[in-house]
Structure 1
Amino acid sequence: MTSAQTPEEPEPEAARQLPPATVSRLTLYLRMLNGLLAEGVERVSSDSLAESAGVGSANVRKDLSYLGSYGTRGVGYEVANLSRKIAQALGLTHEWRVAIVGAGNLGRALARYAGFESRGFDVVALLDADQMLVGTEIGWLRVSDAADLEEVLAKTRANMVVLALPASVAQSVCDRVVDAGVHSILSFAPVVLNVPDYVNLRKVDMATELQILAYHAQRLQVPGLDAERPSA
Structure 2
Amino acid sequence: MPDVITPATTIERLPIYYRCLQRLDKHGVEVISSKELGEKIGIPSTQVRKDLSYYGEFGRRGVGYEVSLLLKYLRKILGLENEWKIVLVGAGNLGQALVRYQGFRKLDLNIDYVVDAAPEKIGEEFSGIEIEDIDNLEDLIEEEGIKMGIIAVPPEVAQEVADKLIAGGVKAIWNFAPTHIKVPHDIQLRNEDLSIGLISLAYHLT
Q: What TM-score results when the alignment is normalised by the length of structure 1?
A: 0.84
Q: Which amino acid aligns with 2:107?
A: R
Distance 2:196 2:13 in 1: 21
CA RMSD of aligned residues (A): 1.5
Cα displacement string for residues 104-125 of structure 1 (whole angstroms, at most 9, x for unaligned residues): 0000111111221221212110
Residues 175, 191 of structure 2: 8 Å contact kept:
yes
Cα displacement string for residues 137-192 of structure 1 (whole angstroms, at most 9, x for unaligned residues): 11110100111111222233221000001011110111111111111000001110
Give 1:16 shift: 6.0
Residue in structure 1 matching 2:195, options 195, 200, 207 = 207
Cα displacement string for residues 32-83 of structure 1 (whole angstroms, at most 9, x for unaligned residues): 1011111221111111211121111110010011121352233110111111
Distance 2:65 2:136 in 1: 48
Match of 1:65 in 2: 53
Determine whether 1:43 maps to 2:31.
yes
Residue in structure 2 matching 1:55, options 35, 43, 47 = 43
Corresponding residue SS for 2:111: strand
Match of 2:142 in 1: 154
Of 84-93 and 33-42, deviating more is 84-93
Match of 1:134 in 2: 122
Distance 2:126 2:134 in 1: 15
Q: Identity rate of aligned residues, in percent?
A: 40
Determine whether 1:197 maps to 2:185.
yes
Q: How does 1:53-202 map to 2 (within 5 A)?
A: 53-202=41-190
Q: Which amino acid aligns with 2:183?
A: V
Give 1:196 shift: 0.7
Of 91-100 and 65-74, deviating more is 65-74
Residues 116, 131 of structure 2: 8 Å contact kept:
yes
Q: What TM-score results when the alignment is normalised by the length of structure 2?
A: 0.94
Corresponding residue SS for 1:106: helix
Determine whether 1:34 maps to 2:22.
yes
Q: How many residues align?
A: 206
Distance 1:109 1:57 in 2: 35
Match of 1:226 in 2: none
Distance 2:4 2:122 in 1: 42
Distance 2:77 2:6 in 1: 9
Distance 1:216 1:93 in 2: 40
Give 1:89 shift: 1.7
Gaps of 5+ in 2: none
Of 164-173 and 81-90, deviating more is 81-90
Residues 146, 169 of structure 2: 8 Å contact kept:
no
Match of 1:19 in 2: 7
